């Protein structure tokens, strides 16, 4: 029965966007990170990302990117991907699935259109730099 299914709540795991210097583009670029602020490692972490929304009244959608990490140690962060400047105007979604012990966890993290900017900076756990946390 549905009432017997327990869906565990994801706690102390975040997706954050941080701006860093990019030598290839010779400018600051936004990067997405998976942050594990828990005392347990994340195993078999899979992240599926995409962006969609309206630009100049026209529906836009990016390709779907998939990333996998065998392990994300406790109290660490791993870089997921660069966030292209042109997709900051779109809703950026990161579906994160991982194991903690024998339990499977799953959560969708979203940056709403325009939310990745310097006005929304806050200190990111574990990294201790200013960034934007996904909801």
Helix (H) / strand (E) element for 82: namely strand 76-83
- Which of 26-30, 48-52, 108-112 is the least confident region? 26-30
Percent of the chain with pLDDT over 70: 99
Class of domain 2-113: mainly beta
Does residue 35 or residue 6 have the better pLDDT? 35
pLDDT of amino acid 1: 63
Kindly state the average pLDDT of the residues 78-107. 95
For residue 124, give both structure tokens.
Answer: 């990111």
Number of Cβ within a 10 Å radius of residue 90: 21
Q: Centre a 10 Å sphere on the Cβ of residue 109 and count the other Cβ atoms it contains.
A: 21
Retrieve residue 32's tokens: 């997405």
Averaged pLDDT score across all residues of the chain = 94
Query: Is residue 25 over pLDDT 90?
Result: no
């Amino acid at each position: 029965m549905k009432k017997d299914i327990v869906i565990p709540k994801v706690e102390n795991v975040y997706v954050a966007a941080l701006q860093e210097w990019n030598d290839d583009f010779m400018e600051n670029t936004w990067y997405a990170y998976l942050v594990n602020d828990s005392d347990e490692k994340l195993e078999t972490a899979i992240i599926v990302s995409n962006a969609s929304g309206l630009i100049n009244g026209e529906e836009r959608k990016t390709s779907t990117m998939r990333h996998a990490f065998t392990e994300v140690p406790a109290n660490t962060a791993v870089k997921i991907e660069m966030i292209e400047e042109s997709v900051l105007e779109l809703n950026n979604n990161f579906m994160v699935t991982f194991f903690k012990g024998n339990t499977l966890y799953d959560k969708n993290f979203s940056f709403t259109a325009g939310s990745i900017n310097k006005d929304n900076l806050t200190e990111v756990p574990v990294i201790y730099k200013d960034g934007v946390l996904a909801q």
